[in-house]
Amino acid sequence: MILYFAPMEGITSCVFRQVHARCFPGVDGYYAPFLAPDGQGRCKASALRELLPENNRDLRLTPQILTNSPEAFVNLSRELVAMGYEEVNLNAGCPSGTVVPKHKGAGMLADPDALDAFLDRVFSQCPISVSVKTRLGLESTAEFERLLQVYEHYPIQLLIVHARDRQGMYRSRPDLDAFVRAAEAAHLPLCYNGDLVDRASLTLIREKVPGLERFMLGRGAAADPSLFRQLRGGAPLSSEELENYLARLEEGFLTWGLSEHFTLARLKELWYYLGCLFPGGEKGRKRILKSQNLGDYRAAVQGLFAQGLFDPSAHFPGELG
């Protein structure tokens, strides 16, 4: 079984990846949050700094690119090759309202012929292996039958399928029936993504698609950093592990050069997911999210832990079925 950590903007930065990998080893690969190049394939230096090999030691990392320009994709891929990367991931799944109208992310799924033309130019010029992260469709999961025909034309390294259409955002229940049909029809290497939040959800997917061995975790792993270990039969998260993890993240952000303000923002972003581990702790979580400085934040976190509400069996809400 191969387990990947999904790209999550605002969460899975290089500091996060390094701390997570040290505290909770066992992730087979991390996918970096997307790079959004200009039309020539240029990105901010700060974005590329996140991908430097020295900032991602001892872990397998795949950069992701969000663009509808094959020239930009190829040019940026060449720069990533020079950094030592052997695979790049195309983002054809982001459902954001600021992305889709620009025909990027999941917006690329609206026109299979245009997607085909994009991939044709990329695969004819790109000097690196290409994987794709996609949704099952823009407005309906029924669209994936046609989209899969397009993907099958190309030697895609790995097709990562988030089992929702764009309309479902992250709210609808993943369409497992549509994913099963896709798995039965696909000849490409396939990876499942969508609401993998505990061992029961993984077991359900493996029962529906026997032989599937690649899985990508996102929100479930942000909510419980030990989830990869648990899916392999390991122990649940302990409160001591979580406290150590949070302290190392804070230290890592500050050492990276983030200000107290931005360090606090990164930690608050993560607590949107971690809060599920403290059932009944809504007031404590709100205190964390309202903290104005790191001193207040630390006091709020300590107060929440002191309430004794930590429940290692709790998990981020998911609706597989």
**Mean pLDDT over each residue of the chain, to the nearest integer:** 96
Identify whether 145 is part of a domain.
yes
Tell me the mean pLDDT in the region 238-265: 98
For 251, the domain range is 239-306
- 248 in the same domain as 135: no
- 270 in the same domain as 163: no
- 218 in the same domain as 243: no
Q: Given this model, what pLDDT does residue 206 score?
A: 96
Asked whether the predicted pLDDT for residue 319 surpasses 70, the reply is no
Asked whether the predicted pLDDT for residue 320 surpasses 90, the reply is no
pTM for this entry: 0.96
Q: Given this model, what pLDDT does residue 84 score?
A: 96
Q: Which of 146, 163, 167, 164 is nearest to 209 (CA)?
A: 163
Residue 127: count other Cβ atoms within 10 Å of its Cβ: 11
- 158 in the same domain as 39: yes
pLDDT category at 169 given cuts 50, 70, 90 is confident
Tell me the mean pLDDT in the region 230-235: 96
Question: Dihedrals φ, ψ of 100, to 5°?
Answer: -60, -45
Identify whether 321 is part of a domain.
no
- 294 in the same domain as 164: no
Identify whether 154 is part of a domain.
yes
pLDDT category at 171 given cuts 50, 70, 90 is confident
Among the three residues 231, 253, 287, which one is the final residue of a domain in this structure? 231
- 195 in the same domain as 77: yes
The more confidently predicted of residues 3 and 44 is 3
Asked whether the predicted pLDDT for residue 234 surpasses 60, the reply is yes
Among the three residues 168, 200, 231, which one is the final residue of a domain in this structure? 231
CB within 8 A of 148, min separation 6: which ones?
182, 185, 186
CATH number of domain containing 187: 3.20.20.70
- 211 in the same domain as 287: no
- 79 in the same domain as 28: yes
Q: Given this model, what pLDDT does residue 321 score?
A: 57
Identify whether 318 is part of a domain.
no
Q: Given this model, what pLDDT does residue 284 score?
A: 95
Instruction: For 82-118, write each residue's pLDDT tens digit.
Output: 999 999 999 999 999 999 999 999 999 999 999 999 9
Among the three residues 205, 231, 257, which one is the final residue of a domain in this structure? 231
Asked whether the predicted pLDDT for residue 246 surpasses 80, the reply is yes
Asked whether the predicted pLDDT for residue 3 surpasses 60, the reply is yes
- If one counts the domains in the chain, the total is 2
- 248 in the same domain as 212: no
- 48 in the same domain as 32: yes
Q: What is the distance between the alpha carbons of residues 246 and 192, in angstroms, rounded to a whole number? A: 29
Identify whether 316 is part of a domain.
no
Asked whether the predicted pLDDT for residue 17 surpasses 90, the reply is yes
- 169 in the same domain as 280: no
3-state SS record for the chain? CEEEECCCCCCCCHHHHHHHHHHCCCCCEEECCCECCCCCCCCCHHHHHCCCHHHCCCCCEECEECCCCHHHHHHHHHHHHHCCCCEEEEEECCCCCCCHHHCCHHHHHHCHHHHHHHHHHHHHHCCCEEEEEEEEECCCHHHHHHHHHHHCCCCCCCEEEEEEEHHHCCCCCCCHHHHHHHHHHCCCCEEEECCCCCHHHHHHHHHHCCCCCEEEECHHHHHCCCHHHHHCCCCCCCHHHHHHHHHHHHHHHHHHCCCHHHHHHHHHHHHHHHHHHCCCCHHHHHHHHHCCCHHHHHHHHHHHHHCCCCCCCCCCCCCCC
